[in-house]
Structure 1
Amino acid sequence: MTVLTSAIVAVAALVAMAGASHVLLHVFQQEHYEPRRLYLWVSQAYGVRLALPEAGLVLVASIASALAADANGALGVVLAVTLLALAARAARMVWSREQIKPLVFTPRARRLFGLQLALAAIPLALVVALGGDGIWAPGVVGAVGALELLLAPWLLAGVANTLLRPVQKADNQRFLNRAQQRLRDVRPLVVGITGSYGKTTTKACVTAVLDLLGPSYPTPASFNSTLGVVRAINEGLLPQHQSFVVEMGAYRTGDVRELCELVHPRVGVLTAIGPAHLERFGSLDVTEQAKGELADAIPADGGLFVTRADDERTLRVARTRAAGRVLLFAPAPHPEADLWAEDVRMEEGRTRFALVVRAGVAGSEEGRAEVRARLLGEHNVANLLAAAAVGVGEGLALNDVARALGRVAPPDHRLAPIVNRAAGVVVIDDSYNANPEGAAAALGVLRDHPAARRLLVTPGMVELGEREQEENRRLGALAAEVADVAILIGPRGADVAAGMRAAGAPDERILTLPDGPAAHAKLAELTRAGDVILFENDLPDVYA
């Protein structure tokens, strides 16, 4: 009976490991399978949230099973089965939990998950076999299982990930070769877009403009890593596509260069250089170096590099690293700009402005065209201008470019307006991500939108390194000028609240809630006709 008890305890420990692994693998996948990033999350959250309770349960219950087995074999089995049931229930709750960006069991994820469980099962099986009918065998099995739970992050990212690296490398190379052949076969005009923010919206704008030349294919969703772009090519790039618009994400120096070596862009767009993901880059100088790799890749013969004229960092990249033709844009008249906007205003749910092109860029004389865009906010004017510069640079007529920009729909969760006419409520969904500039722009949209009351719902901003608290408090100061009610979530929301109070906002306008569900319940209780609600940032599961 003791052997049976030990075996059931071992299975219970593996079930608990399966639950923990789902969370760890979820975070690991969101962090692009970077062990260092997973270990950072572990140091901040794993022990308290997951490992210690699970490990403690396995250890205590297994010792109790051992004691019971010594006195009464059947009772020991019953306690072990109870432990298994509790572990199964906990694992089921973990697997079915609400996920902002759900874990996707790709082949890589399945391999990691399976190998981690196999690595955990081997010591447990050995202890069961060696322990035999020993009185303390179930307790020893439980102790091994508890230790494995505590070491699960390193078992996943350190051992399983390392052992599978050759397999993953071979897989990646096969998909990479297929993508490179597809690019050689289709030979589209490739436009690379990078920057600290505005990439996805600019991608949508550029795609709409280049559709004037024939079908244009943008990388879907957030497929902006090398493997994501490889997948986008293999699954979506077709012979009829005349252009391929590639969003290029970067978390470290070399990421953009690697993407450029894959797709060889002839046109590059640098949207902005700012403190987004500063925690990863370390400094804005490093961010500038990383984003500037796109300019390095644009060919001198026939290449075009587009970026902002009104930012010293983007301007420096254009002046020092771009060998081909350069077009500079600005959301207002600027002495360095080739394209700019005048008379920007929000009317009838659209952003309207005059698109102006300097003489000599689109002909011998200065050109002007009216843009009526469905994108909200003055900050989106910059994204529209970047796309206009690409179109003008490729020889498209200015009026045609302006009409194409008017057809761009807001990408999901990026200042997308949702109108509930029955309730009399407007939601501005800017929940995809938040950075200081984008959050300030979103508050500007909230400020300018007609409303009886203006509500802000945010958990604050993340990945800003040492500036995180400072930037969240600055966001609070801006919110104090705009929001009639602010629903602020979690510890970073508390920093936003501190910024609001420092700016003179009274406590009755500031509500701090521990998590998303509590915030949504409070919002449902408060909302009334005439409200305009801005959802700013929805923290990825790594931070939620």
Structure 2
Amino acid sequence: MRQKIQKINVFQKIIKKIVSILIYETYLLQFQDYSTDRFFADIRFFLKNKLKVVTGKKIEWTSKAKIIFFSSIFFQLVFSFLIVHTFNLSIIFPIIALLVLFFALSPVFFVFLIFSTIIFFPFDFIFKKIVILRAKNKIKKYRKNIKVIAITGSYGKTTMKDAISFVLSKKFNILKTEGNKNTILGISQLINKKLDESVEIFIVEMAAYKIGDIKELCDLVLQPDMSILTGINESHLERFKKIENTINAKFEIIQNCKKNGTVVLNADNELVVQNFREYLKDQKIYFYSSKNNPLSNYRFKDKIFYEDGSGIYFEINDEFENLGQIKTPFLSNYIIGIVMSCMIVGKEFGMSFVEIKEKVENLQQPEHRLQAIKAKNNILIIDDSYNGNPDGVREAIDALSLFVKRRKIYVTPGLAEVGEKNRELHLEIGKKLAGVADMVILEKNEACKFIKEGLLQNNFLEKYIKEYDSIFEAHIDLDNILLGGDVVLFQRGRNEFLFKWIRSMVN
């Protein structure tokens, strides 16, 4: 009886693993906006990583996702049946042979996903065109009474969008793009569903998968009245192949801003500062900075950081006067730049400093993005598990460095989608961590081996580097590692076990 139960448990685990592979490969296709070439790049990494499913990444079961998923299962079953029938693999138990072959083919489910995507492309293309055409007609109807703010960048888009919309909501009726629905289809669907005569400001987060995407989005909204570029870095180099293509793609938001519009740029980003003059037309231009860059229209001073995780306080000045103290629940210096950008945008829309200050002091730290969580035994958890870009990592390590009275522990599986910059960026992370962290916890993979190399090159003791076969295993072992008063930062590597563990540490 016991052996029978064990066999059932093994069978259940096999089925669960197979289903997780099928769903995860479908998630990767959806994540890459059903682009088969970008999807194939993700699949190569997935296969190279021994079919390791990254937990915590959930597919959104849209109608399209369901059609592609179940069609692919059907095609895989048909293919399996043809093999069984052609080679007469089982005369007595054909159904069993069919299922065994189907399960055995699960790692190459991506082939059938690609096939289904190609088969349904004409229908999907027509559907998209209809949705986009409806959105264009609708926005033409209301555009003269609506101001459009467009936001893009290699990082910080969503945080910027949420902060600005929260501040402007003090005086205006706002419509903003939801979550990470920042493509032409997602924005068009939002316009068709929610844009009406009551909307005064439409705030649009714009994503770029290739050169021309942001221009298309700017054309959709009939050119933004205000364009904000949060920064450019090496994120998604596998998409753009070289940094020059990323620069051209992101600056389309400036090129396609109205000629009498307003442009807001990050003065701390070298690639933005080096290139903006080439793309600027006759727009009004402002800069913001979290480092008191001379280009910035505002300055800050007397910054105070609180190690209990309650945030940063600072005073802010414009070119004429001290505007007063700002209190925010954020841990990282980047919030200073966000506050300055909110000042710029709010002032452009006629808001007073008092009105803007009231709103920015009530901004909430986005979940899983340098989110401070107070836990048992005076342990402070910093959940940065949604952060996966180089500038975000630099900002996270800088934030960790501010804790001088706590043991500092850094947990990461490394970065993805950085292409040929993989070694260079992870060596830099290791070098930066060597001067900040007391312990570094890594996943054994191609990225983290360079973090370890960077740590050791900069005299970090190997005994304080812990490596695990998966980031999931690292999270399981945390109870044996953490001591009272520690601060532990999770950079990237989101998974459901991590979130459950965090909840258990708080309750």
TM range (shorter): 0.7 to 0.9
Instruction: Classify 1:452/1:321 alpha carbon distance in 2 versus 1 (closer, same or farther; 3 Å).
Output: closer
User: Aligned runs of 1:221-370 on 2, under 5 Å?
Assistant: 221-237=179-195, 239-263=197-221, 264-301=223-260, 303-323=261-281, 324-347=283-306, 349-358=310-319, 365=320, 368-370=323-325
Following superposition, the deviation at residue 398 of structure 1 comes to 2.8
- Three-state SS of the structure 2 residue aligned to 1:504 is coil
Q: 2:329 aligns with which of 374, 382, 386?
A: 374
Distance 1:316 1:501 in 2: 34
Structure 2 residue identity aligned to 1:162: I
Deviates more, 1:335-344 or 1:498-507: 335-344
Structure 2 residue identity aligned to 1:508: K
Instruction: Classify 1:511/1:121 alpha carbon distance in 2 versus 1 (closer, same or farther; 3 Å).
Output: closer
Distance 2:90 2:293 in 1: 82
Aligned partner of 2:399 in structure 1 is: 445
Q: 2:372 aligns with which of 400, 409, 417?
A: 417
Aligned partner of 2:39 in structure 1 is: 38
**Contact 1:427/1:533 (CA < 8 Å) preserved in 2?**
yes
Instruction: Classify 1:390/1:16 alpha carbon distance in 2 versus 1 (closer, same or farther; 3 Å).
Output: closer
Instruction: Classify 1:238/1:305 alpha carbon distance in 2 versus 1 (closer, same or farther; 3 Å).
Output: same
The reply on whether 1:501 has 2:456 as its aligned counterpart is: yes
Instruction: Classify 1:482/1:392 alpha carbon distance in 2 versus 1 (closer, same or farther; 3 Å).
Output: same
Following superposition, the deviation at residue 403 of structure 1 comes to 2.7
Q: Unpaired segments of 5 or more residues in structure 2?
A: 1-14, 497-507
User: Aligned runs of 1:11-410 on 2, under 5 Å?
Assistant: 21-46=22-47, 49=50, 99-125=55-81, 152-157=109-114, 159-184=115-140, 187=143, 188-237=146-195, 239-263=197-221, 264-301=223-260, 303-323=261-281, 324-347=283-306, 349-358=310-319, 365=320, 368-410=323-365
Structure 2 residue identity aligned to 1:45: F
Distance 2:493 2:171 in 1: 36
Q: TM (normalized to structure 1)?
A: 0.78
**Contact 1:374/1:410 (CA < 8 Å) preserved in 2?**
yes
The reply on whether 1:454 has 2:455 as its aligned counterpart is: no
**Contact 1:196/1:276 (CA < 8 Å) preserved in 2?**
yes
Following superposition, the deviation at residue 331 of structure 1 comes to 2.6
Following superposition, the deviation at residue 534 of structure 1 comes to 0.8
- Three-state SS of the structure 1 residue aligned to 2:391 is helix
Distance 1:123 1:205 in 2: 51
Q: Unpaired segments of 5 or more residues in structure 1?
A: 1-13, 51-93, 359-364
Aligned CA-pair RMSD: 3.3
Following superposition, the deviation at residue 410 of structure 1 comes to 1.0
Following superposition, the deviation at residue 452 of structure 1 comes to 3.0
Following superposition, the deviation at residue 270 of structure 1 comes to 0.4
Following superposition, the deviation at residue 495 of structure 1 comes to 2.2
Following superposition, the deviation at residue 419 of structure 1 comes to 0.9
Distance 2:278 2:416 in 1: 31
User: Aligned runs of 1:459-470 on 2, under 5 Å?
Assistant: 459-470=413-424
- Three-state SS of the structure 2 residue aligned to 1:251 is coil
Identity of aligned residues (%): 25
Distance 1:16 1:402 in 2: 51
**Contact 2:38/2:239 (CA < 8 Å) preserved in 1?**
no
Distance 1:35 1:295 in 2: 29
- Three-state SS of the structure 2 residue aligned to 1:408 is coil
| Structure whose CA Rg is larger | 1
Distance 2:90 2:264 in 1: 73
Distance 1:394 1:192 in 2: 15
Distance 2:433 2:83 in 1: 59
Structure 2 residue identity aligned to 1:531: D
Instruction: Classify 1:186/1:373 alpha carbon distance in 2 versus 1 (closer, same or farther; 3 Å).
Output: farther
Distance 2:285 2:187 in 1: 25
Distance 2:462 2:17 in 1: 43
Q: TM (normalized to structure 2)?
A: 0.83
Aligned partner of 2:3 in structure 1 is: none
Deviates more, 1:133-142 or 1:268-277: 133-142
Following superposition, the deviation at residue 490 of structure 1 comes to 2.7
- Three-state SS of the structure 1 residue aligned to 2:351 is coil
